[in-house]
Chain A
Amino acid sequence: MTLPSLAAPRPRLHAVFANVTLAIITLLFLLPLIWLVLASLDPGATLSLRAPERIALDNFVEIGTWELTFRPMMNGLIISGLASLLVVVLSALAAYPLSRYTMRYGDHFLYTVLFLSALPVTAIMIPVYTMFVRLRLVDSFLGCILFLAASSLPFAIWMMKNFMDGIPIEFEEAAWLDGASSLRTLRTIVLPLMTPGLAAVSIFQFILMWGNFFVPFILLLDPAKLPMAVTLYQFFGSFGVVNYGNLAAYAAVYSAPVIVLYLVVSRVFNGAFRLSGGAKG
């Protein structure tokens, strides 16, 4: 084994082993998705795994109504879209001074933010509900958006600050000497330089909020206001009576936006979407 000529086969064997193992794990990860794909295209689908007798889009056509699909989708877009927009704007504003200035309580603020970002939001949902009852914010988009934004801000500020720390300060120095205000510098110089970071934070936030079930489930009551996260649960919860082909199609439609966003991010930014903000522990 110590002969140099024998050193070559081992890495190759190692590579074969690694590739085979990875292929198996990849396959195992994809297995649970097979039913969804087959059932959504199978007009007679059940919970069983089976090849469709006839591949058709009937399921998608059947769920294409305002009450069942389009309204919950629009509600979800309003809630997740506005909340993530709010989070991105506010976290960019907050991250700028934290990244650029030395402030007396800056570090305290950052550690508080880090602590808050680690708290399980689930734990405070019931108190939030009773508090929102008193504030008359239950069953309103505004309440739902504000809470989603508030609970996502700590992590977003942390991510945003880490992205901002990576932008060299030289460009801003010129602008400051010309008398530009710090908000103007942020808008015209810093933010354009960190477009990948901004996109990563926005899309990451949107994906999390689009998939969030507990917050709208607790805070929204009116069926006309529910987003797809909750309507899918209600659909899924009516076992027995449910048409499984329709259910699978519904889940596919609900998942489509986040899958598309993920593909866009991983393609366009190739590596920027690595939670770089969060990873720097």
Chain B
Amino acid sequence: MSSRDNGRGVANAAPRSSTPPKSALRTFRRSVGPVVPIVPAAAIMAVFFVGPILWAVYVGFTDQGLTGAAALNPQWVWFDNFERLINDRDAHAAISRTVAYVLLVVAGQNVLGLALALLLQKRNKAMKTIASGAVVLAWVLPEVVVAMLWYAFLNTRDGTLNTILASVGLPGQSWLIDQPLFAIVIASVWRGTAFSLLIYSAALEEVSPESIEAAQVDGASGMQQLFYVVLPSISRLILTNLLLTTLQTLGVFGLIFALTGGGPGGQTQTLPLYMYEQAFRYNLIGYSSVIAIVLVVLGVILSAFYLYAFRKGSK
């Protein structure tokens, strides 16, 4: 934000320019000129991103379908889709399932990412390269590949996990059948930890060494330094990261869709998968738009929850 101020004097783009305009055309150029490069990006975002968002809200009030009469000529149905949502037990189950999934994944990847970032501080270059390399590798892999890897890893018959457990004398499990939520959570944490690690590593570099030294001089233990010096000084980035990872996790589709398909028996059917099913299997586009709105609202509620918790914590 700060370096933007440098441009003011030279570019004369600010309306408060001191030199008097020489002609109307010139004034127009000066005030509109700087905006021109933004136009292509703004136009594409408006048509193909903001447009669909507004469209989703509109469609939520119609009986829009995928095929048949409801596709060609959808009717305005007011709050029918919202009423359906209120009475739809499967949707309620999907909402609570989604909240559980998101909270577990966000907690897992933030704790693991922060712990890794703390452990990686002051390590030698080789350790840093290898450890962060392995974690970030999990992040750059495409989500369908991740789903496949975890399918093989958690496979019942001689999957990697069961083979390892057997080698130390522990019984295996049909993880994807018996613990499906655990399966999608651990696969998502595995994939998402890198994001938190990258953000927390950058954040920890900004913590002033003086304040840590001061705490050490005062005789603070490692844990005390962490909780009273380090964490408070990066609290803003923790909050930002919680928000970002929550919104990312809410939108996870491909990983769950390819790993469990929402099953068994709908046990891993989060809202995005439920939305997809309502639209493409039951032909209910209008209703699935309402579910999309719920998904966004859920993001807003969770964000507000973090903001509230942080404000309370800092008091």
Contact = CB atoms under 8 A, between A and B. Distances in A.
Chain B interface mostly: helix
A146 B46 CA distance: 12
Interface stretch (A54-62, A117-125, A191-199): A117-125
A213 interface: yes
A52 interface: no
A123 B295 contact: yes
Interface in B232-249: 236-237, 239-241, 243-244, 247-248
Residue among B158, B160, B222, B252 with the highest chain A CB neighbour number at 10 A = B160
Interface residues of A, number: 99
B119 interface: yes
B145 A103 contact: no
Contacts of A182: 11, 33-34, 37
Contacts of A18: 119, 123
Contacts of B153: 31-32, 35
A207 B191 CA distance: 14
7 contacts: A36-B152, A126-B288, A129-B279, A153-B41, A213-B253, A274-B198, A278-B244
Contacts of A254: 142, 145
A93 B142 contact: no
A70 interface: no
B285 A126 contact: yes
A244 B151 CA distance: 12
B241 to A, nearest CB: 8
B45 A124 contact: no
A31 B167 CA distance: 15
A213 B254 contact: yes
Nearest to A31: B160
A188 interface: no
Contact of A127 (B250, B253, B292): B292
**Contact size range, B:** 35 or more
Contacts of A93: 37-38, 40-41
A47 interface: yes
Interface string B245-279: 00110111110011000000000000010011001
Interface string B1-35: 11111111011011100000000000000000111
Nearest to A34: B160
A258 B198 contact: no
Interface string A240-269: 000010010001001100110110001000
Given A102-B7, A123-B272, A48 B158 contact: yes
A36 B141 CA distance: 12
A103 B34 contact: yes
Contact of A274 (B48, B66, B201, B295): B201
B10 A173 contact: yes
Given A120-B247, A157-B41, A50 B141 contact: no
A247 to B, nearest CB: 7
A183 B37 contact: yes
A254 B143 CA distance: 11
A120 B6 contact: no
Contact of A258 (B34, B140, B250): B140
A147 B48 contact: yes
Nearest to B200: A279
A120 B4 contact: no
Interface in A191-215: 207, 210-214
Contacts of B285: 126-127, 130
A281 B38 contact: no
Nearest to A281: B240
* Closest 6 pairs (CB-CB, A-B): A120-B251, A281-B240, A211-B142, A48-B158, A213-B254, A150-B48
B199 interface: yes
Contacts of A47: 151-152, 155, 157-159
A99 interface: yes
Contact of B159 (A49, A96, A232, A244): A49
Residue among B14, B136, B253 with the highest chain A CB neighbour number at 10 A = B253
Contact of B53 (A23, A124, A129, A130): A124
Interface string B59-81: 10000101000010000000000
